[in-house]
């Protein structure tokens, strides 16, 4: 199975540092690592925004918004945040 490369926008690092609980940070990192093997896992949802293909995975009350490029085998993480605030960024 071909692994996808995972890239992050610069703003994602700030978003990640805002998460207060270390246990939740680990769960989010694990979920992102799993995207390299399976970019569309069970429970993923495609967001209905502009013409871009944005996807969302849930990790507790946090969400990870990303885009998949199947031709280049890459994933770009756009945002990580609490469910109440994440959709305002995208």
* pLDDT recorded at residue 81: 92
pLDDT at residue number 89 = 60
pTM metric for this prediction? 0.86
pLDDT range class, residue 68, cuts 50, 70, 90: very high
Residues 49, 36: Cα–Cα separation, whole Å: 23
Q: Which CATH class is domain 5-89?
A: alpha beta
DSSP 16-70: HHT---HHHHHHHHHHHHHHHH-SS-TT-EE---SSS-EEEEEETTEEEEEEEET
Structure confidence at residue 30 (pLDDT): 95
Under the banding of pLDDT at 50, 70 and 90, the label for residue 27 is very high
Where does the pLDDT of residue 1 fall: very low under 50, low under 70, confident under 90, or very high at 90 and above? low
pLDDT at position 2: 74
Segments making up each domain of the chain, as ranges: 5-89
Distance CA 66, CA 75 (A): 7
For the stretch 38-42, contacts whose Cβ atoms lie closer than 8 Å and that sit 24 or more positions apart, written own/partner, are 39/4, 39/68, 39/75, 40/68
pLDDT band at 86 (very low <50, low <70, confident <90, very high): confident
On the question of pLDDT at 5 being above 90, the answer is yes
d(CA 76, CA 65): 9
């Amino acid at each position: 199975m071909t692994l996808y490369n995972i890239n992050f926008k610069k703003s994602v690092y700030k978003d990640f540092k805002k998460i207060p609980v270390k246990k939740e940070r680990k769960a989010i990192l694990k979920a992102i690592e799993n995207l390299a093997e399976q970019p569309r896992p069970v429970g993923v949802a495609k967001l209905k925004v502009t013409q871009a293909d944005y996807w969302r995975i849930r990790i507790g009350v946090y969400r990870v918004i990303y885009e998949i490029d199947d031709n280049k085998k890459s994933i770009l993480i756009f945002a990580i945040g609490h469910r109440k605030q994440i959709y305002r960024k995208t």
